[in-house]
Amino acid sequence: MIDVPDLIDWDLPDPFILPITVQPEDVDRLGHANNVVYVRWLEEVSWAHIESLGMTWERHEATGKAMAITRTEIDYLAAANEGEHLLLGTWLVDFDGRFRSARRFQLMRVSDGKCLVRALSTHACVDLKTQRPARVPKEYGELLGHAVVRVDEPVDE
């Protein structure tokens, strides 16, 4: 369990959280975390989240299927600087039960509770050998379906 300060105001309840400390190699010429690093963090928390649900890489290999990103939208709201402690939360917010899913992200600075990034990514199930769209295996559907957090507004594609 990750200790989340009271001043962190998540957009949705019960996020899956990845703690992050901004490293010197994350910082670019402008003196803050580079945009590419944020994308890497989104991928890291996504994998950690699905693995916590039981969708391990071994299961992906056994089924021959995986969820591949089809779109990512990122709103950079404030900079993250070297040494800062951050919390990256994610939620699975949509799953059609067949091919597509979506997740939201929120990156928060621990020291002041400020939201630095909001993001949305959409995914499609693909066959690992052909890289073509494929129907979600039944076991993925069960794991993903139980993890979806319902939101009021529709998820854009």
Tell me whether residue 88 is in a domain: yes
Antiparallel, parallel or unpaired: β 65-76 and 100-109: unpaired
Q: 17, 2 in Cβ contact below 8 A?
A: yes
DSSP per-residue letters across 25-69: GGB-TTSSB-HHHHHHHHHHHHHHHHHHTT--HHHHHHHTEEEEE
Tell me whether residue 153 is in a domain: no
What CATH code is carried by the domain that includes residue 25?
Answer: 3.10.129.10
Range of the domain at 86: 20-147
pLDDT in tens, the chain (157 residues): 576 767 799 999 999 999 999 999 999 999 999 999 999 999 999 999 999 999 999 999 999 999 999 999 999 999 999 999 999 999 999 999 899 999 999 999 999 999 999 999 999 999 999 999 999 998 888 888 889 998 876 555 4
Q: How high is the pLDDT of residue 146?
A: 86
Q: How high is the pLDDT of residue 46?
A: 96
Give the pTM: 0.90
Tell me whether residue 132 is in a domain: yes
Number of structural domains the chain divides into: 1
Residue pLDDT, tens place only, 106-116: 999 999 999 99
| Distance separating alpha carbons of residues 109 and 116, to the nearest angstrom | 7
From the centroid of its chain, how far is CA 42?
A: 5
Tell me whether residue 10 is in a domain: no
Residues in the chain: 157
| Distance separating alpha carbons of residues 89 and 149, to the nearest angstrom | 13
Tell me whether residue 71 is in a domain: yes
Tell me whether residue 12 is in a domain: no
Which residue in the block uniquely carries the two structure tokens 């003196």? 31
Tell me whether residue 154 is in a domain: no
The values of phi and psi at residue 97, to 5°, are 80, -5
Tell me whether residue 99 is in a domain: yes
Q: How high is the pLDDT of residue 156?
A: 53
